[in-house]
Structure 1
Amino acid sequence: MTTASLATGLVLGLSAGLAPGPLLTLVIAETLRHDVRSGIRVALAPLITDLPIILATLFVLSRLAQFEWILGAIALAGSAFVLSMGYASLRTQGLALPSRDSAPRSWMKGVLANALSPHPYLFWLSVGGPLMTKAWALSPIAPVLFLGGFYTALVGAKILLALAVGRSKVFLTGPAYLLIMRLLGALLVVLAAVLLVDGLALLGWTSG
């Protein structure tokens, strides 16, 4: 279970780190407007903003532990959310590069962009939180490995993209990026199926 938790965290983190979105756009914009270090500072924003979200999510889920039908519904929502991530990854055609003339972005704006985005809240409530709760029931180290893998991949992917953009903008529309996103999309579809089975079992619709 510990290995599975680490692998799941890495896949989800890498997918979130490479997927187009407001924070990734800021990473690229800062790199183009200023330098790679500016892009890296924005990439670190989730390490600041996500902790309160994670703690709040785990608190809510602990209160719902006795209501398996609610947890089942959350698992089904998580399955749909991950499936949508997988579909988006499979459909990715590359990233549109922001103009060098865009307004300057600061590290604080990166923090605000991530804190005000609905994505972290949806992810931790429907996917990340339930996975950590399930992992904790089997091994105390499993949720730690999940978190470590997730944020290593999430932040690391954005830092690597900042470095890649600093060297060449072609990577974002090239075959390597598209191949990575296709592979991640396929893995996310498999994970969505696992969450679907968990949700149906919690609802009592399958034997689990």
Structure 2
Amino acid sequence: MLDFLTAGLVLGFSAGFSPGPLLMLVISETLTHGTRSGVRVALSPIITDFPIILATVLLLMNLSGYHGVLGVVSLAGGLFVFYTGFESLRAQPVALELPKEPPKSLRKGILTNFLSPHPYLFWITVGAPILTRSLNIGITAFIAFIGSFYLSLVGAKIILAVAVGKSRAFMGSRLYLWIMRLLGALLTFFALLLFREGLRLLGVL
């Protein structure tokens, strides 16, 4: 269970702190309408990801006997995580000079996240395979991963909304860059584990 808890925390914090459409919306809402608006947007993945998770988990459960297919999915997940980690290691300060926009809401955050390719790529190649393995172990492992993932994902974005609300300089600070680089190193290690799992499923190891 500890492995699933750790994986959820690392992947969740990485997704939460990494620049992307939803993070930019969190920042924009915080700067233009206050911290509460940014926090509302940060909560949107809890709503939008459910149908994606359900569809991908059901698909992989039907493919549970096809080790070759699952091996390819695991390798693709390793590439996705490795790329994400590489980008985190190369993180640069984030510019916060965003244009003023009309008020947004939780609905706008839901739409932004639902139309972004990142949740789909993550759950198809990384998240759903981990959830499928956790279900084979037991409900405790399942809850450990899904709970820690969303706690850290949403928590990271709320932390950023509060930090940006207090100081625009945070996203360009050394602390933010070091957080990204630490997460990048952890993701690179996690990608190697996914590569190993993929090669095992393909019968190479």
TM-score for the superposition, normalised by structure 2: 0.97
Q: What RMSD over aligned residues (CA atoms) do the two structures have, in Å?
A: 1.0
**How far apart, CA to CA, are the structure 2 residues paired with 1:113 and 1:23?**
6
Name the residue aligned to 2:109. Answer: 110
Name the residue aligned to 1:41. Answer: 40
Unaligned runs of 5+ in 1: none
Shift of 1:104: 3.2
Shift of 1:54: 0.4
Q: How does 1:79-90 map to 2 (within 5 A)?
A: 79-90=78-89
**How far apart, CA to CA, are the structure 1 residues paired with 2:100 and 2:131?**
42
Q: Is 1:29 aligned to residue 28 of structure 2?
A: yes
Name the residue aligned to 2:94. Answer: 95
Name the residue aligned to 1:180. Answer: 179
Unaligned runs of 5+ in 2: none
**How far apart, CA to CA, are the structure 2 residues paired with 1:99 and 1:193?**
37
Q: Secondary structure at the match of 2:94?
A: coil
**How far apart, CA to CA, are the structure 2 residues paired with 1:114 and 1:148?**
19
**How far apart, CA to CA, are the structure 2 residues paired with 1:100 and 1:173?**
18
Shift of 1:130: 0.4
Structure 1, 5-14 or 127-136: larger mean CA deviation: 127-136
**How far apart, CA to CA, are the structure 2 residues paired with 1:185 and 1:139?**
29
Name the residue aligned to 1:135. Answer: 134
**How far apart, CA to CA, are the structure 2 residues paired with 1:94 and 1:55?**
36
Shift of 1:4: 1.1
Shift of 1:103: 4.0
CA contact (8 A) 1:28 1:98 kept: no
CA contact (8 A) 1:5 1:142 kept: yes
CA contact (8 A) 1:57 1:129 kept: yes
Name the residue aligned to 1:56. Answer: 55
**How far apart, CA to CA, are the structure 2 residues paired with 1:113 and 1:98?**
20
**How far apart, CA to CA, are the structure 2 residues paired with 1:195 and 1:159?**
29
**How far apart, CA to CA, are the structure 2 residues paired with 1:189 and 1:14?**
14
Name the residue aligned to 2:64. Answer: 65
Q: Give the number of aligned pairs.
A: 205
Q: How does 1:152-171 map to 2 (within 5 A)?
A: 152-171=151-170
Shift of 1:98: 4.1
Name the residue aligned to 1:6. Answer: 5
Name the residue aligned to 1:123. Answer: 122
Amino acid at match of 1:164: A
